[in-house]
Chain A
Amino acid sequence: MWNSVASIACLIQSATPCSNGVVIQREHRHTNGMTTIGSNRLFTALLMTALAGIMVQMYRSFLLVPQFRVFALRVVSLFLEALPLLLAGAVVAAVAREILPSERIVAFCRRRARLGLPLVSLAGFLLPVDEHRLPDLMNRLERQGLPVPHIAAAALAIPLLNPVVIVSTSVAFPAQPQVLLARILGGMAVAVITGALLAAWIRPDASRNDASRNDASLRDGSSSRHTETTPRIRFRIDRTVQNTLAVFLSLVRYYLVAAVVVGLIQGIGLPASLEALRFAIVPGAIIAIGLGYLFSAPSAGDAFIARGLMTVLPAPALTGFLIVGPSLNLRTAPVFARFLRTGHLVLLHLAVFALALATALATALAAAPASATLP
């Protein structure tokens, strides 16, 4: 393919020497008093056209490959199924972002910190936050003096326990309410127990910042509220629409990566030697937890990804995926690392993985089928 592109280039730039027909030197030379800038542009345009033509031809060839068609169907299926939920997640997050500025969320968590970790871990139900806003929220919570364990609990729970996630999980597993129940209860347990472990591990003075800075931050927050006298509706609609689209595009990007990987996994299938994995809860759950951590799929649609993995992993094991995926993953781990020391970060990972595994095992025990037994 590249040789043909280079040949086209050589034909176009006949005056330009081509070594091996592949390397093309780009020079500005004078010909009859005119520069070759114009011909270079023409060359670039033709090269791009040739490349586009080759891509189209390759795409048309791919359309004839049955395996590619099945793969495409898998990815499109996963995408179409999650599309409404991804959009709903983006709309809810953007509207919440507009009507619930960060100051209010910070104030909510700060005021209720004394009431304990369980209440903080339920913040996502009242204050849906898109996952990209979470790092900023965590930084502000830390600056304003919320104890680190409470921040960790909130950060683990908010992406996992919110209305959009509940709806998407129930849509993805309509006949398996135990999956939704395990996700909610397991998610709460992960947030609260991990927070409690961190609270026991971290010295209180180490988790607090300078009180004067907190006061200054609060004053900043309150001063901005005082300016809210004559809101401009048009500006706010513009901002909400743009935030919705931005969040939606971001969710789609991460979701598609996970969907493509799941499409490939489904296509490749399991070798005969690993067929037993479909029924092995513990290894299955460990793999599911690892995939959840790596995929970093957006919580609004990750239930559909999990269901796509049901062909290779047992359903109860996927609760591990559903718990770890949104709360602790490759995207959020660096955020936790910003305000946790290495030891605390390791503890956080171990606690979340262990609790997710325990939830998967509990789900398996609760859903043990009466009619099917392993060979």
Chain B
Amino acid sequence: MSAGTKRILTAGILTVLVIAWWLLLVTAGIHGSIRGLFHPRVYSRALGAAVVLVPLASWYLFSSLSGSPDGAAPPRGVTPDTTEGGKFSPITARKLLPLLIPLLLVPAAIREPTGDRSSLDFTPGGGTGTTTTGSATPPESPLLLAVERALEDGPALEGSDGAPEDGRSPDSPEPVSPAGEPGSASSNANEVHIAETGTILIEDENYARLVDLIWDDPRRFAGRTVEMVSFVFRRPRWPETFFTAARLSIWCCLVDAAVIGVLVETDPRSAPREEEWIRVRGTLGVLDSFDTGTIVMERVPVLRDASWEVVPKPDFEYVFPADW
């Protein structure tokens, strides 16, 4: 086989591989297999890179078909690339193997995307990486402004009452944006729903950021009632009276998922089972310290006087840190 034919074959295989990559990402995205595995931005960036690779590989195939040999010396007037004596960097079929490996791994990766929670540990804060627990001045954020605005306008809260049957607030709260105008925020992550009873509803869109705000300054929220849908997370070394109302926060990908949420203090005899999905409602308090078994956290938010009901697992069980 001549060098030219080998080059054309290699270019053809490269083009096919790159297009296969692109098609696989698009198909998985349309099918919904990618959802929950990767943060949407990671997926869209990877898709963008695959799109850029297609014309590059196509150009290489085109130039191979038009007869540009690998070892071509530069034509008169072109500065030689002195790194390789002015020649092209050769691409051989062997060098294409790395592209094949992730291509083979994708079908395994996107099959039944479930996270293994057994090895996870509880992460303080909302998983956004901006938790400043213990600092004197927590950062102001549009969401925090929205919460405070809503709480100023609403009734002051002590205790919990009137838990909604289905959890979707029966008081039909309007979302409050940072400007304090219901429903006017451009991003759901910056909206907060406050029930007429004053209960702060922590929802999927703002879960990570609200939990972050609570961890930032638990005393600021002490005495407020919150409600959220979470799964029950507990580590073997934890005291029996505690579990975490938790969600898995995906920073980049499912494998990086972190367990975030709020501790719940409860009677162990009536505590929900681990991994069970519950809608929990309780009054926020502050725990001086809590030993997770690996670290000792100080000034930890905790839900007291909690009530819960078992709910079905949500269609999409993960939450994303919104600021990223």
Which residues of A does B touch, CB under 8 Å? 59, 62-63, 66, 68-70, 72-77, 79-81, 83-84, 86-87, 97-98, 101-103, 133, 136-137, 140, 174-176, 221, 224-225, 227-232, 235-239, 241-250, 252-253, 256, 266, 269, 275, 278-279, 307-308, 369-375
Q: Is the CB of B59 within 8 A of A237?
A: yes
Q: Is the CB of A241 within 8 A of B63?
A: yes
Q: Is the CB of B77 within 8 A of A76?
A: no
Q: Is the CB of B133 within 8 A of A83?
A: no
**CA of A221 to CA of B297, assembled, Å:** 63
Cβ 8 A contact of A224, one of B82, B90, B96 = B82
Cβ 8 A contact of A371, one of B74, B75, B298 = B298
Cβ contacts under 8 Å, A253 to chain B: 95, 97-98
List the 10 closest pairs (A to B, CB-CB), nearest first.
Answer: A175-B129, A77-B253, A246-B89, A72-B108, A230-B77, A370-B134, A371-B133, A80-B46, A72-B105, A73-B109
Cβ 8 A contact of B294, one of A101, A246, A275 = A275
Which residues of B does A touch, CB under 8 Å? 14, 37-38, 42-43, 45-46, 48-50, 52-53, 56-57, 59-60, 63, 68, 70, 72, 74-84, 88-91, 95-99, 101-102, 104-113, 116, 119, 124, 128-131, 133-135, 252-256, 291, 293-299, 324
Given the contacts A77-B255, A246-B91, A227 and B46 also touching, CB distance less than 8 Å = no
Q: Is the CB of A247 within 8 A of B89?
A: yes
Q: Is the CB of B104 within 8 A of A256?
A: no
**CA of A80 to CA of B37, assembled, Å:** 11
Q: Is the CB of A76 within 8 A of B296?
A: no
Cβ contacts under 8 Å, A66 to chain B: 116
**CA of A3 to CA of B78, assembled, Å:** 58
Inter-chain residue pair count (beta carbon < 8 A): 201
Cβ contacts under 8 Å, A229 to chain B: 77
Q: Is the CB of B88 within 8 A of A243?
A: yes
Q: Is the CB of B60 within 8 A of A73?
A: no
Nearest A residue to B63 by beta-carbon distance?
Answer: A238
Cβ 8 A contact of B52, one of A87, A243, A269 = A87
Nearest A residue to B321 by beta-carbon distance?
Answer: A175
Cβ contacts under 8 Å, A238 to chain B: 59, 63, 68, 88
Cβ contacts under 8 Å, A175 to chain B: 128-130, 324
Cβ contacts under 8 Å, A68 to chain B: 108
Say how far A298's CB is from chain B's closest CB, in angstroms: 12
Q: Is the CB of B82 within 8 A of A70?
A: no
Nearest B residue to A70 by beta-carbon distance?
Answer: B116
Q: Is the CB of A372 within 8 A of B253?
A: no
Q: Is the CB of B38 within 8 A of A80?
A: yes
Q: Is the CB of A102 within 8 A of B63?
A: no
